[in-house]
């Protein structure tokens, strides 16, 4: 199975900060990667699919980049509602595998 | 409105059986895969398996193969996740999610989650 390694596992940031989360695949997965946001007590929400395509309704401050084995999720200007846990998911092959998650906390 | 509505929280004992549900509405149920995702308390997301309701084609994670059964009923637009014999380690939140497939895949719609608590 493809392993997805996310870093950092947590970070503290202030409103207005630029934040970047990284996901590394154990083998090449083309651009078959999505990013999901989960707030406490809520279901995950799709932010980015195909590594860099913004899901409809998601604010443009979220962006994704990368292909092959290395991927980034960037929040250009962190807003109060962005404090959450973020997960990557590889869609390249079965079994689908999530990264371990990155918790974004308020500094 | 496209939505997935899951059945309510369950409290069971070890060894009991359980079937939880996920009802899709607002879209053509048979044209999209439905996946199940586990989240143990305080932990991350784990993909368990996925079913295509049109023909009941199913894919399981090796971690869950043989431990759970995923099924779907087109007539009621409902997907199911079931256990024949629960363990305390099955205590978790379970999410269903619609999977868009091709040219790019993703879980675009999620259910609200079903909390399963298993006591030993």
Q: Which of B44, B46, B113 sits opposite A43 (nearest CB)?
A: B113
Residue A12's pLDDT is 97
CA distance B47 to chain A (A): 6
Task: Report pLDDT digits (tens) over A11-26.
Answer: 999 999 999 999 999 9
Does pLDDT of B103 surpass 90? Answer: no
Task: Report pLDDT digits (tens) over B68-86.
Answer: 999 999 999 999 999 999 9
- Contact of A71 with chain B, judged by CB distance below 8 Å, is answered with no
Query: Closest Cα to residue A99, out of A20, A19, A22?
Result: A22
Residues (pLDDT < 70) of chain A are none
The residue count for chain B: 120
Residue A106's pLDDT is 87
Q: Do B84 and B17 meet the contact criterion of CB atoms below 8 Å apart?
A: yes
Share above pLDDT 90 across residues of chain B, in percent, rounded to a whole number:
96
- Contact of B112 with chain A, judged by CB distance below 8 Å, is answered with yes
Q: What would the mean pLDDT of B23-31 be, rounded to a whole number?
A: 96
């Amino acid at each position: 199975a493809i392993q997805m390694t996310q870093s950092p596992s947590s970070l503290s940031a202030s409103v207005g900060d630029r934040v970047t989360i990284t996901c590394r695949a154990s083998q090449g997965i083309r651009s078959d990667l999505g990013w999901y946001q989960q707030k406490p007590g809520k279901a995950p929400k799709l932010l980015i699919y195909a590594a860099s395509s913004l899901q409809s309704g998601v604010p443009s401050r979220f962006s994704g980049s990368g292909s092959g084995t290395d991927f980034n999720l960037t929040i250009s200007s962190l807003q109060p509602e962005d404090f959450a846990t973020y997960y990557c998911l590889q869609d390249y092959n079965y079994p689908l595998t999530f990264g371990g998650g990155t918790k974004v906390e308020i500094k | 409105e496209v939505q997935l509505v899951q059945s309510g929280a369950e409290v069971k004992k070890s060894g009991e059986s359980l079937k939880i549900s996920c009802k899709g509405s607002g879209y053509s149920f048979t044209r999209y895969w439905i996946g199940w995702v586990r989240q143990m308390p305080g932990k991350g997301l784990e993909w368990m398996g996925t079913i295509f309701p049109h023909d009941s084609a199913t894919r399981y994670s090796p971690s869950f193969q043989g431990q759970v059964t995923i099924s779907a009923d087109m007539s009621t637009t409902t997907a199911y996740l079931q256990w024949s014999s629960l363990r305390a380690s099955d205590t978790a939140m379970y999410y269903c999610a619609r999977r868009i497939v091709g040219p790019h895949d993703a879980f675009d719609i999620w259910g609200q989650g079903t909390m399963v608590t298993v006591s030993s």
